[in-house]
Structure 1
Amino acid sequence: MSTTPTSTTPTSTSEAVVRLAVAQTTTRTDPTDGAAFRAAGVEIRELMSQAHDQRADLVLFPEATFCFPDKRALSRTAPELGEADWSRFDWATLTDELELVRQHARSLALWTVIGAQTRTAEARPRTSLLVIDAQGHDHVRYDERRLSRTKDTLMYARGAGPAVFEVNGLRFRLASGLEVLFDDIFLAYEDAGVDAVLFATQGPPNPEESDHPSGPAWPSWPHSSWLRSPGGHGAPTEARAAGPARRSLRLRTRARVCPPHVVGRQAI
């Protein structure tokens, strides 16, 4: 995987456009349940097909899409909280299901951003967003950098830097989890001249709400705040990387794809 931007062909010489779908999945928390990982994979691929049927170029999934592991289920001192024992996590099934997602992305020619745990040389894994390109290749990986207290002290290693990729002439960067609370991440992205930030979380749409995972993901445009996972049906709406408008929409049911939004940037 590389952080070097690559692009597909823009739909117009005067304007860069991406049709972006946002998926919400069923939250699964048992890190030992291979059947649940496989059920998640079936659901993910069905949502990818739905996004393709709605002519999306890219689909965004929540963080930890296959499994948002229960901290006590991984604890070495369960039922008390303690350092996570990642040998309990079903890495083999996750690996198999991710390969099926790559194959499906290739068959649909669909860019796919999906959350998964990734192992490194460190003792702890990272919680990551994987960008799979339209050929089914791992294009770039983003490791969450600002972790919650539990993630940081008991579960994951921190990521080291941003990730950028380009689709149809638009530059995207990534954020996940509690990073929504840190303005400096998004200001740095804006200063870098990106067109949109794709943000994925298993937390509630508003950080002050219940801490029960609900599995939303949403894109953000510099200058225009959040476009949260929209619910309901209807024709795609158009959003551009300019203007002060704020959108605060949310998915109200699980396991669905919202109608794709058209992300565009007019040529200057």
Structure 2
Amino acid sequence: MKFATAQTVVSSDIAANGNAIRTMIREAAASGARLIGFCEGALSGYAKAQITDWATFDWIAQEAELRSVAALCGALHIHAVVGGAHRLADGSLPHNSLYVFSDLGTLTTRYDKRFLSNSEVSDWYAPGSVPVVFEVDGYSFGCALCIECQFPEIFGDYERMGVDGVIFASYGLPEHFEIALRAHAGLNCVWIGAATPAQKAPKGPAGNIGPDGRWINRCSATPAPGMVMARLDRKDPLYDVALQKARPWRAKARQGDIYRERMTDHRRTRNRQDY
């Protein structure tokens, strides 16, 4: 199956953000993509950048745009992962979230960022608590946001949960993020779609990473909207070592039985030789 990773202009105008997201969804669907991922805050805007005070944030406008995105996904039969804030019923700080829409036009699930920066957790967002996995055409995906690329346990947990890929959304992809993402993809043998805002592209454009840890493709590094697509295929000869050899072997290695068995055999051989 094909999945797309986008970079759209993120502004303080929620309606404009929604229009940019829907435009990219249409392009992805026309190109045969079954899933498209957008950046952190793609719809709502990001705290400190477009959002300066939650008291003035237009939650009604965002809800309307979320419904429009869901309806378009259903009409075009495509899945989408869209960054946006999520308001909590108790009035506390909102979550920094990824909304996952199905090709039936419904909200499949929502991922709430678990590891927050110091400024985020102090003034802007409440942390989430659980990983999220969803499926598209028999392939499963996890979600991660921004600074979470600095926490390897996020990606290791997803590997143990059996995901094929991770939709990663960030408000910028600086070089150390890119290094970490390539490492996570190669170490865990998963695809990663890394989305970022168009205005942040000059410091690192959106792109897709293969399970061998190499970039498959990237958007333009100019501050303009764009989209790149990648193909997920577990039988792709290009990723034979990563998917058919390295990943299953590493799973056995982490389980540890293979080493305990070898140690037992070694001890038996040594005892016979001593005798």
TM-score (norm 2): 0.71
**Secondary structure in 2 matching 1:96:** helix
Give the structure 1 partner of residue 10 of structure 2: 27
Structure with bigger helix share is: 2
Counterpart pick for 1:49 among 23, 26, 29: 26
Per the TM alignment, residue 74 of structure 1 is displaced from its structure 2 partner at its CA by: 5.5
Unaligned residue ranges in structure 2 (runs of 5+): 179-183, 202-207, 236-242, 245-275
**Secondary structure in 2 matching 1:59:** strand
Counterpart code for 1:148: S
CA distance in 2, matches of 1:52, 1:74: 30
Give the structure 2 partner of residue 178 of structure 1: 147
After superposition, what is the alpha-carbon deviation per residue over 1:151-181, rounded to whole angstroms, capped at 9, x for unaligned?
A: 1110000001001111111111110111011
CA distance in 1, matches of 2:195, 2:46: 22
Listed as ranges, the matches of 1:1-268 within 5 Å are: 18-28=1-11, 30=12, 36-71=13-48, 85-122=53-90, 123-207=92-176, 220=185, 222-223=188-189, 228=194, 241=211, 244-247=212-215, 249-251=217-219, 252-253=221-222, 254-258=224-228, 260-266=229-235
Per the TM alignment, residue 229 of structure 1 is displaced from its structure 2 partner at its CA by: 5.9
Per the TM alignment, residue 224 of structure 1 is displaced from its structure 2 partner at its CA by: 5.5
CA distance in 2, matches of 1:73, 1:240: 32
Whichever of the two has the greater Rg, that structure is 2
After superposition, what is the alpha-carbon deviation per residue over 1:196-224, rounded to whole angstroms, capped at 9, x for unaligned?
A: 11111112242479xxxxxxxxx957326
Per the TM alignment, residue 245 of structure 1 is displaced from its structure 2 partner at its CA by: 4.2
Per the TM alignment, residue 73 of structure 1 is displaced from its structure 2 partner at its CA by: 7.3
**Secondary structure in 2 matching 1:162:** coil
Give the conservation status (yes or no) of the 8 Å contact 1:227–1:248: no
CA distance in 2, matches of 1:74, 1:56: 31
Per the TM alignment, residue 67 of structure 1 is displaced from its structure 2 partner at its CA by: 3.3
Give the conservation status (yes or no) of the 8 Å contact 2:167–2:192: no
Unaligned residue ranges in structure 1 (runs of 5+): 1-17, 31-35, 76-84, 210-218, 232-237
Per the TM alignment, residue 189 of structure 1 is displaced from its structure 2 partner at its CA by: 1.1
Give the structure 2 partner of residue 4 of structure 1: none
Give the 3 Å change call, closer, same or farther, for CA 220–200 of structure 1 in structure 2: farther
Give the conservation status (yes or no) of the 8 Å contact 1:144–1:175: yes
Q: Provide the aligned C-alpha RMSD in A.
A: 2.9
Give the conservation status (yes or no) of the 8 Å contact 2:97–2:110: yes
Give the conservation status (yes or no) of the 8 Å contact 2:39–2:82: yes
Give the conservation status (yes or no) of the 8 Å contact 1:205–1:228: no
CA distance in 1, matches of 2:71, 2:192: 31
Counterpart code for 1:195: D
Give the 3 Å change call, closer, same or farther, for CA 92–239 of structure 1 in structure 2: closer
CA distance in 1, matches of 2:57, 2:47: 11
CA distance in 2, matches of 1:239, 1:152: 29
Per the TM alignment, residue 193 of structure 1 is displaced from its structure 2 partner at its CA by: 1.6
The number of aligned residues is: 218
After superposition, what is the alpha-carbon deviation per residue over 1:215-240, rounded to whole angstroms, capped at 9, x for unaligned?
A: xxxx9573267565699xxxxxx986
Counterpart code for 1:20: F
Counterpart code for 1:26: V
CA distance in 1, matches of 2:51, 2:34: 36
CA distance in 2, matches of 1:158, 1:58: 26
Give the conservation status (yes or no) of the 8 Å contact 1:113–1:130: yes
Give the 3 Å change call, closer, same or farther, for CA 224–57 of structure 1 in structure 2: closer
Give the conservation status (yes or no) of the 8 Å contact 1:227–1:247: no
Counterpart code for 1:93: A
